[in-house]
Amino acid sequence: MWLQKPGIVNDHLVLLGTRENNIYLLKGDVDMLVGGGCQWIVRELMQQIQTWKIDMQRVKYLFVGHSHFDHCGAVPFLQRRYPHLQVLASRQAAKYFTMPKAVKNARIFGRQALQQMGASNDFEGISLDFDTIQVKRVLQDGDRVDLGQGMMAFFVETPGHSRCAMTLYLKKQKWLFPSDALSLPITDGRQFVCTASESFVDYINSLDRLDALEVELCAWEHFGLMTGDHVRRIIPRVKQSTLAYKQMLKTHVEQSGDVEATARWAARQWLAQTQFKFIPFDVMHHICRQMVQNAMKEKLTDEDQ
Amino acid sequence: MKTNKIQLNGKTVSIEDGMTIGDLIREKGLDPGTVVVEHNRIIIDTTDLDRIAPAQHDVLEMLTFVGGG
């Protein structure tokens, strides 16, 4: 099953936000939001909180899987609206959230996304602008947070998409929340959008670590969650598709002799397939340029040597 | 004509007996260079795609990818 439409999944899990940009609610004795979303989903999010009668006073934690603007953009708003929320993130993410340049960039990207999506810059008088995020608890690899009712969240460092990335795993439930540490499924779920933007080596190493986990449900922060046979094999399948994608980029550069052309081609392909209107082409081009350069220089397999 | 029922990306489909994985990929209009194939849970090297013909009840996964970050 692939659930992309926001809704109540079961007694312990709610899919919030939009199809393109999700946040999850984990429910135990206390609750946790997973994912910080982008500002433009706030209106839908607040509507869902009201419609599904989510008691935000029970929500103690907000886990941010990594510091990219589409995964933390709504956090400053949520902290303004619900000051009791405790933000959890990796040490690297916590550092980014207080760096003036990173905060400035996130603010610019957030405003651009709001404009692109036709959304206003505030919700009920509260600004949606990005600002410094104070992380209440810095997470380290192997840390855990007990939500009660058998909901024990484990955190795994999973760099590769970004240096600051962490994945949340519920061992008893076998639920995985990789944020963007795992390529995104599109079309029939067997097509993947590669997210190894920071380093292919780190990304593959992270996948090798995640491969030790049993997965019955995988909940991305884009395009919802999946259960079933495909998800039980999702880690090795993403790994193989990542290796093949890296090789494809390399071949493209070798044939064209042009890193920039390959980066432009990859960015166009990515945006056409995902239909993400909230990511400007120049941002995607920058991401793809880095990925193409990494595909050329990073060594992973025997063929790369 | 003999056919074999296989599981392809989670769905039951009938294919001609003797049809290779490479034939299946081309029949779907895909470029073998952009497909990762898992045959009965084993990743198949691209050089073997035209040598393996799935048998009755075999399980195939065809995974494709696009770029991005």
* Alpha helices, H only, A257-280: 259-274
Task: Decide: helix, strand or coil at residue B41.
Answer: coil
**Angstrom distance (rounded) from CA A120 to CA A114:** 7
Which of left, alpha, beta for B30 (phi over 0: left; psi -120 to 50: alpha)? Answer: beta
* pLDDT number for residue A305: 44
The pLDDT value recorded for residue A149 is 98
pLDDT, residue B1, reads 79
How many other C-beta atoms are found inside a 10 Å radius of the C-beta of residue A182?
28
Q: Is A240 on the interface with B (CB under 8 A)?
A: yes
Look over chain A and give the mean of its residue pLDDT values, rounded to a whole number: 95
**A36: nearest Cα among A17, A50, A54:** A17
Percent of chain B topping pLDDT 70: 96
Q: Report the distance separating Cα B9 and Cα A66, nearest Å.
A: 31
State CA A263 to chain mean position distance: 22
Selecting from B9, B34, B43 the residue whose C-beta is nearest the C-beta of A240 gives B43
Chain B residues touching residue A270 (CB < 8 angstroms):
66-69
Record: contact A161-B69, CB cut-off 8 A: yes
* Out of A197, A236, A240, closest to residue B69 by CB: A197
* B36 at interface of A, judged by CB pairs closer than 8 A: yes
Asked whether A155 and A34 are in contact (CB, 8 A), the reply is no
What CATH architecture is A2-235? 4-Layer Sandwich (3.60)
Q: How far is A200 from chain B (nearest CA, A)?
A: 11
Q: Looking at residue A300, what is its pLDDT?
A: 83
A200 touches chain B (CB under 8 A): no
Q: What local confidence, expressed as pLDDT, does residue B32 receive?
A: 82
DSSP state at residue A123 = E
Map tokens 């670590």 to a residue.
A209
Q: Shortest CB distance from B66 goes to which of A191, A196, A228?
A: A191
* Count of CB pairs separated by less than 8 Å, A with B: 90
Q: Kindly report the CA angle at A249 between A248 and A255, in degrees rounded to 5?
A: 90
A18 and B CB contact within 8 Å: no
Looking up tokens 């003036």 gives A100
Q: Do B33 and A251 touch (CB under 8 A)?
A: yes
**Which residues on chain B are in Cβ contact (under 8 Å) with A266?**
67-68
- What's the pTM value of the predicted model, to 2 decimals? 0.94
Rounded CA gap, B30 and B24, in Å?
A: 9
Q: B3-64: which CATH number, 3.30.70.1070, 2.60.40.10, 3.50.50.100, 3.10.20.30?
A: 3.10.20.30
pLDDT at A303: 54
pLDDT of residue B68: 39
Task: Judge: A195–B65 Cβ closer than 8 Å, yes or no.
Answer: no
Q: Tell whether A254 is within 8 A of chain B (Cβ).
A: no
CB B62 within 8 A of CB B40: no
- Say yes or no: A233 contacts chain B, CB-CB below 8 A: yes
Strands A13-17 and A22-27: antiparallel
Structure tokens at B59: 């399980």
**Residue spans in chain A of domains classed CATH 3.60.15.10:** 2-235
Contact A248 B10 (CB under 8 A): no
With an 8 Å Cβ cutoff, is A291 touching chain B? Answer: yes
Q: ipTM score here?
A: 0.88
Average pLDDT, chain B: 90
Choose among A138, A195, A198, A193: nearest CA to A162. Answer: A198
Contacting B residues, span 1-30, partner chain A, CB-CB under 8 Å: 9-10
In eight-state DSSP terms, residue B31 is -
Per-residue pLDDT of A84-135, as tens digits, reads 999 999 999 999 999 999 999 999 999 999 999 999 999 999 999 999 999 9
> Domains of chain B: which residue ranges?
3-64
A195 contacts in chain B (CB < 8 Å): 68-69
Instruction: Assess A7–B contact: CB distance below 8 Å, yes or no.
Output: no
If pLDDT is split at 50, 70 and 90, which confidence band does B69 have? very low
pLDDT tens for each residue of A139-148: 999 999 999 9
Which portions of chain A are predicted below pLDDT 70? 301-305
| A219 Cβ contact list (under 8 Å, min separation 6) | A13, A15, A22, A24, A34, A175, A176, A177, A225
